Amino acid sequence: MLIEQREKLRGEIKVPGDRSISQRAVLLGSLAKGTTEIDNFLLGEDCISTIDCFRKMQIGIEIIADNKIRVQGKGLYGLQAPSAPLNTGRSGTAIRLLLGVLSGQPFSSAVVRDEASMKKPVGKVVNHLRQMGAGISGKDDGNFCPLSVSPSKLRGVAFDLSPNEALYKSPLIIAGLYAEGRTAVTVSVKSRDHTELMLNSFGADMEISGLKVTSRMVENLYAQHITIPGDISIAAYYITAGLLVPNSEILIRGVGINPTRTGILDVYKLMGAKIEFLEERLLNNEKVADIRVLSSNLSAVVINGDQIPILWDELPVILVAAAFAKGVTEITGLAGHKIMESNKIKSLSLELSKMGARIFVTEDRVSIEGGKPLKGTVVESYNNSSIAMALSVAGMAAEGETMIRKSQVVDTAFPGFFPLLNKL
């Protein structure tokens, strides 16, 4: 994909439905009794993998026009044993959530991933679920797929999770729906709360008290009509482009502004970004607003480890913003987080360096000396959608032309990313 420097970006757009919420809507709709209808569903690769897994457990899921989904749920205890392994594709969210569900089922099942993801460890979520009594085994003592899940009696456990373990909260509270007693999960910092918010809308008895979430066994969940907010992780690329490209004004309609997901906007406002919320409203317990963005002169900021759990997906594009911001931006406390374990930050930093950015990366920290013009060149996506999209934003604000290799990987996250970018 060839990206040219832009003089301005102007217009009104709408981003696709939130990926994390879309996956949870299919999962909970499958576990609920009755027909759940889902509007503004994200028909991306990860969400299709989630649909496929539940179809293999005899859940009827219909994909309708205009990004609508209809799920014929059979209740918490209505899933059937799959006749083939459940393939979660490349999605880390799908495999974690699915293991939480399967741990409480009265049948055996097998879980695999796509070939490249089979090399990614899953042992941490497996070990947490084992503490509840889950019968999960697999390669290297369950650290890698393929995994086998056998019927077992779950018991409620109290978990205290560190910031880099926040992504295990959802599978644990889902497993808690099948466990005797209470399952209490406390994360030491603010973390995403889509699962508990949606569970309560489906009739679960979730208790939310500060950073602690308590899940308990319920008789059933009940079908809902769900409208998925626009994905702020996708909107983040257009927001950043609007901030960096001069003379820009962008309005993004219907974006989810859940406080556990707006960390990037908090960071940008500290950097001097001109961002405002319009028409704030509530959809299925989730906050939504239209976001107005004006081009801005950004200044460096410090991001510490406590902020990382609400910035996981947006860190790549934040690096791009920091490369254009005046001063030295420091991002600390990265050790142990999936964003570093995946080498995503190191890979993106190398490509931005090719464009003239001064970025220094250690196991725990990233330092970016910003404020100097970047120049377009040939860069690599590493077959990663977030790297490709972040480099696209950098290319629009850099001098000359930027050629991104293997940019087609963006289709796995949002097939319409480039056409929507070209509308502005």
State residue 337's pLDDT score: 65
DSSP H or E stretch at residue 125: helix 123-131
Residue-range domain boundaries for the chain:
2-16+229-423, 19-227
Is residue 98 within 8 Å of residue 63, measured between CB atoms?
Answer: no
Indicate if the pLDDT at residue 134 is higher than 90: yes
19-227: CATH topology: UDP-n-acetylglucosamine1-carboxyvinyl-transferase; Chain (3.65.10)
**pTM confidence score:** 0.87
State residue 304's pLDDT score: 87
Which of 264-268, 327-331, 334-338, 357-361 is the least confident region? 334-338
2-16+229-423: CATH topology: UDP-n-acetylglucosamine1-carboxyvinyl-transferase; Chain (3.65.10)
Is residue 214 within 8 Å of residue 183, measured between CB atoms?
Answer: yes
State residue 341's pLDDT score: 52
Report the b/e string of 90-126 with b at 16+ CB within 10 A: bbbbbbbbbbbbbbbbeeebbbbbeeebeebebbebb
DSSP H or E stretch at residue 222: strand 221-222
Cis upstream peptide for 246 (omega within 30°) = no
Q: What are 327's two structure tokens?
A: 């001063």
pLDDT in tens, 5-27: 999 999 999 999 999 999 999 99
CA distance 371 to 354: 16
pLDDT in tens, 292-344: 999 999 999 999 888 887 888 899 999 999 999 999 999 998 886 656 556 88
* Pairing mode of beta strands 182-187, 158-161: parallel
Q: What is the mean pLDDT of residues 34-42?
A: 95
State residue 380's pLDDT score: 95
Q: What are 244's two structure tokens?
A: 């960096």
State residue 285's pLDDT score: 85
User: Residue 88 burial (CB < 10 Å; 0-12/13-18/19+)?
Assistant: buried
State residue 265's pLDDT score: 95
Q: What is the mean pLDDT of residues 402-420?
A: 89
State residue 340's pLDDT score: 56
Report the chain's terminal Cα–Cα distance, integer Å: 17
- Which band of pLDDT confidence, cut at 50, 70 and 90, is reported for residue 377? very high
CA distance 400 to 417: 21
CA distance 347 to 92: 19
Assess whether the region 2-16+229-423 and the region 19-227 belong to the same CATH fold.
yes
Average pLDDT of the residues of the chain: 93
* Comparison of pLDDT for 306 and 395, the residue scoring more: 395
State residue 339's pLDDT score: 60
CA distance 99 to 110: 10
Indicate if the pLDDT at residue 355 is higher than 60: yes
State residue 344's pLDDT score: 87
Residues known to be catalytic: 313
* Comparison of pLDDT for 100 and 118, the residue scoring more: 100
Share of the chain above pLDDT 70, in %: 98
- Which band of pLDDT confidence, cut at 50, 70 and 90, is reported for residue 119? confident
